[in-house]
């Protein structure tokens, strides 16, 4: 297999993006924002989240992955998750959403679209948020056997 063939195969396989707010950085709302710009069309296939310390505020504390297009500002985009991650859930537990059941139509990104972390609620005591997004390039065709 020559290098060109290898690159064509590699581009059909999935990729991942990892974003982390280590330690107490997770408890500050201004640390949430844009973390990815699509260089070409992609489809998100799965998103996983974990945190080392759960939020302790009495109200709802969640994390949404937001798709931003054009000049949309933070909080003006579309949610990628049908149900936002509960940041008050059990610490050190990986929660995963995938496919049509867990993701909205915003899972499809065009070149130049951005992804952002969108928090809601008061982030008291929250620590160690880690998110991994698995995606594939759109319109790559199928493997030939």
**Domain-located, residue 100:** yes
**Domain-located, residue 111:** yes
> Full-prediction pTM beyond 0.75?
yes
At 76 the pLDDT is 97
* Helix/strand/coil for 3: helix
**Domain-located, residue 29:** yes
Q: What is the pLDDT along the chain (145 residues), one digit of tens a residue?
A: 455 554 455 455 689 999 999 999 999 999 999 999 999 999 999 999 999 999 999 999 999 999 999 999 999 999 999 999 999 999 999 999 999 999 999 999 999 999 999 999 999 999 999 999 999 998 766 554 4
Q: For 18-25, which contacts have Cβ atoms below 8 Å and span 24 or more sequence positions?
A: 18/130, 18/131, 18/132, 18/133, 19/117, 19/130, 19/131, 19/133, 20/128, 20/129, 20/130, 20/131, 21/117, 21/128, 21/129, 21/130, 22/128, 23/127, 23/128, 24/127
At 144 the pLDDT is 46
**Domain-located, residue 86:** yes
* Helix/strand/coil for 65: strand
In whole angstroms, give the CA distance from residue 128 to residue 139: 35
Which residues fall within 8 angstroms of residue 62, CB to CB, at 6 or more apart?
84, 85, 86, 87, 119, 120, 121
Number of domain units in the chain: 1
Domain with 110 in it: 11-137
**Domain-located, residue 31:** yes
**Domain-located, residue 143:** no
Give the CATH number for residue 28.
2.60.120
**Domain-located, residue 50:** yes
**Domain-located, residue 28:** yes
At 138 the pLDDT is 86
């Amino acid at each position: 297999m020559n290098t060109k063939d290898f690159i064509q195969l590699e581009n059909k396989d999935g990729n991942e993006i990892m974003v982390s707010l280590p330690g107490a950085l997770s408890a500050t709302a201004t640390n949430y924002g844009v973390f990815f710009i699509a260089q070409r069309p992609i489809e998100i296939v799965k998103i996983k989240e974990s945190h080392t310390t759960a939020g302790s505020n009495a109200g709802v504390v969640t994390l949404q992955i937001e798709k931003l297009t054009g000049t949309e500002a933070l909080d003006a985009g579309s949610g990628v998750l049908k149900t936002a991650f509960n940041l008050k859930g059990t610490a050190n537990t990986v929660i995963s959403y995938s496919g049509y059941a867990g993701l909205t139509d915003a899972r499809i990104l065009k070149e130049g679209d951005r992804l952002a972390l969108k928090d809601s609620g008061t982030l008291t005591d929250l620590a160690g948020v880690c998110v991994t997004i698995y995606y594939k390039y759109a319109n790559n065709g199928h493997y030939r056997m």
